[in-house]
A and B are shown apart, each in its own frame.
Chain A
């Protein structure tokens, strides 16, 4: 009764193809946005904004970016952090070097720069598949980091390549407070999420999934494999690039190339495995998981065990738990947390009956 389509008849294909087909979905989304934009600012404190909500949103966006490439287009990548770095450093330079560049526009240009770099490192995917592609994305990971560290032009000649976010002023409003940074991040992430939903339902998204599921058949029905893969690399890197800019400017404030190392790439990969490959919602669930688990663990250790475990050991335990969770999800729920949400929805649809 809570969630079902009874009584809601679609009368045109257009209505059937809407992103949010049921009123429950539309109202649910409106409610969620209202809570996020209006209610959360009243409830949460600065710690919540800076340490939980902003990283959660940025990592969700990064997961979304990788998921478009890996979950939808089927191209495995271990270089997500490199594309984030390109986005962050490009946005920094656009804003720094072009007089009067609006802040948001420098984000977009940062994303576009990342897309360009993504396409370059996606080129080998035209000849190679599967594990072999890892070499290209790892090349991106190491090469980008090397360039950003070794050529100080990219960080405006600062020591060890550190860049510092300029004042976040958009249309006269200062977004530098934790609340302001939260709202800015939320707005951008929400907009890009809607875009991602539109993409995966479009002909473009279908072509990605076709290439993912069976590339020979996709070629035979006339899908241009090369173009499809490169567009996937471009779009994915665009999302990752914007996530990188947000990571640098609204989350950390200062960042060095090392902040976008291989560990970050793994973290994003873990988000999409835990959250669910080929799902938009899953990235948010996965990111929440990956942000909250360490906090939960350290709270348990501090409060319940009275700090009996030292921080180094805690990190090891965290690593073991993450590894075990990854394997657990791959074995028991390969479609991730998003799948669990789906089955809850199916339950709600027939509730109070079971089937």
Chain B
């Protein structure tokens, strides 16, 4: 919402400064977005007289001018404008002056070796006009030395407020003035429009035709002014409209635009000679269309409200009129419409057709129903004043009656909700000034809401009205102790897991990324997603269309982008939402990571110490680290070969606690998956779902179990087994552990060998077994006996033989 200071002062008697008004507007909830003060912009530029203008010695197109500034000796200025010549009055910018149109600050300079003490300026250079062809020429009688701002009378600051959607009353300057007057910045003086009785019946009748459903037009008023003379509107009106960025069209149209901004009351004018028969307000019919005043043709449907005559749709109700019945310079008979529209319907239609008009802006917020008729009178008066003619009587269809129940307002609500003490007298003064009627006395009053405040529903709204005008800054900050609440953890299990997962992965040298929750459909499908219920109806881009089933595609794409920038070895992770379905319980928290190129767990890139490509074991270590940090029962986790299709079939694994609870997967990505993601490998990745980790058991005590230390030295023995190549190391380890569950406390795989000395279809796996005696030192015989049990168990489980 834009207006000028002088426009405001037509409704508000005030001596307050611009600064004070701007400050107050913001502090009562009418946030000032910008103040443009042309006076300030033009003030530094002075009227000068060009005494002489001679050819520049070194440039064909430049002239060296001597100018009289009204004080001191004439100044020398170099100028390139073709109209720079002796005798004219021009406008000078002195060194140090900011030139808004060029975004430069002038200095004393030499132009082709000739000193220039400033610049004679064009209209475009100071954003006064669009004229860039020559310097500004002023009338010969313009006094030298005068500020350009004074010369053009540009002393009217333009204020733009960022109006919140509830404040329909402030879509007009009069409403803004009312708010300011309530806040003690002057006295409201908006004149009430004079009622105009028509001289003859309005020849056009109006019918509201919503027989089949809910009315989209509560009321509609219309009158004819005949014998008017349209043409350009007077300068004062044009200046006003131009100041707030509107283009003057003709007097009739400008009047409606003026009242729209002056009173927040949009109107429409039809050229009566272009209207055929009577008007009917109805829903559009499928297939109808309208060439609107913006020159575009809109296709209409039954959800939209239109004004039609006997032949066609003439106006898109409350949003934009039609070109066919619009007023132009030739219009002599004008139908003036002032109506009420269903706000939701206006919003819906406007959104559907993509029309942002000043009328829509107001009607979708809900205009003052009581001002429908006065608004029409105000417009009529202006038409009669500016264009002449004779006004008809008014035809009204529908009703502007509102059924408003006063609000029961216990005054201590102010203290209860806002923590602010406001005397009854002050509260009453504020409410009255805003147009509310307060009946009764403290502590409980009845408050009637003015017709222009459809946003006020209940007592909380009244508290806001009182507090915002009294001043929110008066509310004292009040300590808010935590009270008797027990200090206990505030994070849920999952929140805690998220936090630990992040820190543990970062501690493994990985960098946390936050990638989009939506990915391309093809990628979603590749990773087991792509369900129709998870596809956006209005994605912002085609490759951000589907909710992600996995974090891996986003991370792989991110790693590839880094590679494209020259950083090939990246380890990225993310902890975030993945979507198996649209229901809340189908949203899971995944922790995933990718290692691309040489981003190994032991360090990134080529290095003399070690190196090589990240592989399945880096991903496995990452996955297990996250699970351990997040509190998974590490000893209960099973690693099963293989994983989902996007992993390398022979270099991937599944982490589970029994076949029913799969916690996650790890592995090297399948080359085909990488190709589909348009990424180059190798990439090792993992993904675990934090919710799948079993809930920790509630513990009665924080004490750890008693520490049992054996006084006897542990014994370590090495065994090497020759087994078939497809035998899993984990089976050998488990067999060794099972040989004596009490004494065997550790089994480590320390060597894998295939090659010379071993059958080609076999491999050798060497393990170190730790035995921890409990009661006494073990004898050699006892150790050997366990060794034999281990060999027997491994042989039984894997078919392996002790390597000789």
Specify whether A and B are partners.
Answer: no
Chain B: residues with CB nearer than 8 A to chain A? none
Binding site for B on A (CB under 8 A): none
